Homo-oligomer: A and B are copies of this chain.
Amino acid sequence: MSDEFSRIERYFAPLAGVEGLGLKDDAAVLQPPPGREIVLTVDQMIEDVHFLAHDAPDFIARKLLRRNLSDLAAMGAQPLGYLLTTALPQSVSDEWLRLFAKGLQADQQEFGCKLFGGDSSSSRNAISLTATFIGHVAPGTALRRDGARPGDEIWVTGTIGDAALGLRARRGLLQDVSQFLTLRSLLPTPRLGLPLANIANAAIDISDGLLQDLGHICRASGVDAMISSQLVPVSKQVAIFGDTMLQARLTEGDDYELLLAVPPEKADALIAACAKLQITKIGAFKSGTGQVEVQDAAGKILQFSKPGWTHF
């Protein structure tokens, strides 16, 4: 691999916005958009934890950006740009880096953001990547996890469980002829740009698992949630597996769909705001202490061994 400074110049400097000062400085400098609040989020991807060494570098890059963009979407924020850190073992080739940078470039264009700066380091073993995103939002309108109220309905965008099954397909555990599930796992779509500020009382993106992320809203808001397993929307590729994959799709996450708390009188406004997107009511919040209940079609409460992904 070429040395640190040539790598920055060759692969990363072309991705930089003016705020990045050509990636020649210690930091980025930016004028905050007038009258807006700044939103900051950070996510990392570690080899053998979040991706596999043989995954395509451009897909790794794009998922790193999209995981962060999804966090901005969950706050109702728009992206400005990002800082990137890489810690790479010496075995990583220049070709890997070229493809990685190509992936960054593709998603910078798709989502309208630039590279503002970063840090590069060597690593003894695993590839370790971190992106810090800077976004902005109208003052006081950031969506939070703690705003759900008893009586609010629970809505989700898109379909749930595609990524859980896509991961199995990538591991050769199930067939995915159309590659739909595989792509949903490799290249999730952050639900940016939905005008949810005066509609949703709370929001989160589904990264850890539907039940766990719903639990985060419940605990932050001090309410309980009741959802119906039969209402959780699935793609036709997931529907084939029926209830055999119910636990996987409710607990494994990685879908990066939005989970929203919406007062019943705002339901029509929600549907209008998500005009181009599937949006489905799956249950409601009620008074409580942070619990999540799942009912099957017969109204029976289902139990799951764990609600979602946690690091240890």
Contacts and interface: CB of A to CB of B under 8 A. Distances in A.
A25 B75 contact: yes
Interface in A27-80: 27-32, 37-44, 46-50, 71-72, 74-75, 77
A123 B122 CA distance: 16
A26 B205 contact: yes
B31 A71 contact: no
A26 B72 CA distance: 8
Interface string A2-19: 111100000000000000
A246 interface: no
A30 B38 contact: yes
A117 B134 CA distance: 13
A127 to B, nearest CB: 10
Contacts of A29: 37-39, 75, 137, 142
B75 A119 contact: no
A120 interface: yes
Most buried by B among A121, A125, A310: A121
A176 interface: no
Given A39-B28, A75-B27, A50 B121 contact: yes
A60 to B, nearest CB: 15
A305 B312 CA distance: 46
A85 B42 contact: yes
A113 interface: no
A262 to B, nearest CB: 18
Nearest to A74: B26
A85 B27 contact: no
Given A117-B42, A119-B44, A310-B5, A87 B128 contact: yes
A72 B26 CA distance: 8
A146 B21 CA distance: 9
Given A41-B117, A135-B27, A125 B122 contact: no
Contact of A4 (B48, B139, B311): B311
Interface of A: 1-5, 21-22, 24-32, 37-44, 46-50, 71-72, 74-75, 77, 83, 85, 87-88, 90, 116-126, 128, 130, 132, 134-135, 137, 139, 142, 144-146, 204-205, 216, 219-220, 310-312
Given A25-B75, A41-B27, A75-B27, A87 B117 contact: no
A137 B116 CA distance: 17
A139 B24 CA distance: 19
B87 A46 contact: yes
B25 A30 contact: no
A49 B42 CA distance: 22
Contacts of A42: 83, 85, 117-119, 130, 132
B124 A4 contact: no
A310 B5 CA distance: 8
Contacts of A46: 87, 121-124, 128
A124 B21 CA distance: 35
